[in-house]
Amino acid sequence: MDYQLIFRLSEPGVPVRGAVSSLVKGKDHKRRRDRINLRRFKITTIDQDGTIYKTDPLIVIATDLGRREEVDSFRKRWEERRISLATSLRGQFGIVEGMTAGKLERYMNKMRPVNGIKQFVRFLIDLGIWVVLLTDNPSCVANFALKLGFQDIICSRSELSRTGIIGRMHPLVNKATGLSDYCKQNGISLRECLHVGNGVNDIPVFRRVGASIAINPENRRVQRAADFSVDTDTILDLIRFFVY
């Protein structure tokens, strides 16, 4: 397996109080079911770019380094099917290759998480649901989700030298495959997974899990693929879709 699965148990924390009453109502695009019964789920996976962060970390870094056009070019060529997704991801990840882990950490510490993400993660954990970051970002970027309370990470793998220099990248080209492997290793069915995301690369996951929510979907394809779809400025707004 060329990508990375990170298994790490979080310490129990203080239960969330008043999360439901503090919701900011979002605009529902559609519903395929009444509500999601969380008692049927063992895992919630959540996307990184545009879902737990308001902006894409790689875009922020590329813009600061004057390499935004380079990243956009790799993405556009993949969308036009001129290159493979693996090639596109390796090209995008190239902006952090050769960077020190310390410099990357300074960038990531400036990233703004979406409103309510720590409370949302804690809410799920307090219900006995395992919370996993599911992203095609490299592990050097994805690891920072642990600061937000995530318990595990499924992501692309980035090598790190003994001197702290970020090296070669090994892309996770299909998030659904990564989640499927994770579930097999843990004796869990994909139908016991709930996924939250916003991008086209979340669609294969939406199609295989037990329930799905598109939060601020980037286009109508993503919106239509999920069981629920909502525009909102706080991830806590998703709680109103749940029975627990």
Give the pLDDT mean for 203-227.
Answer: 97
- Same domain, residue pair 131 and 82: no
d(CA 90, CA 72): 13
d(CA 136, CA 168): 15
Q: Could you say which of 67, 84, 108 is where a domain stops?
A: 108
> Is the confidence at residue 167, as pLDDT, over 90?
yes
- Same domain, residue pair 164 and 211: yes
- Same domain, residue pair 184 and 223: yes
What's the pLDDT at 33?
62
Q: Could you say which of 86, 108, 130 is where a domain stops?
A: 108
- Same domain, residue pair 103 and 117: no
Give the tokens for residue 132. Answer: 């996993």
Q: Which of 192, 44, 52, 187 is nearest to 124 (CA)?
A: 44
Q: Contact 180/192 with Cβ under 8 angstroms?
A: no
Range of the domain at 218: 4-54+113-243
Give the pLDDT mean for 159-182.
Answer: 96
- Same domain, residue pair 126 and 209: yes
Tens-place pLDDT, residues 102-114:
999 999 999 999 9
Q: Which of 232, 207, 241, 208 is nearest to 222 (CA)?
A: 207
CATH number, domain with residue 226: 3.40.50.1000
- Same domain, residue pair 162 and 47: yes
Q: Could you say which of 108, 140, 172 is where a domain stops?
A: 108
- Same domain, residue pair 22 and 124: yes
- Same domain, residue pair 77 and 185: no
Task: Work out the pLDDT band at 54, boundaries 50, 70, 90.
Answer: confident
- Same domain, residue pair 82 and 194: no
Indicate the number of domains in the chain: 2
d(CA 114, CA 235): 7
What's the pLDDT at 28?
58
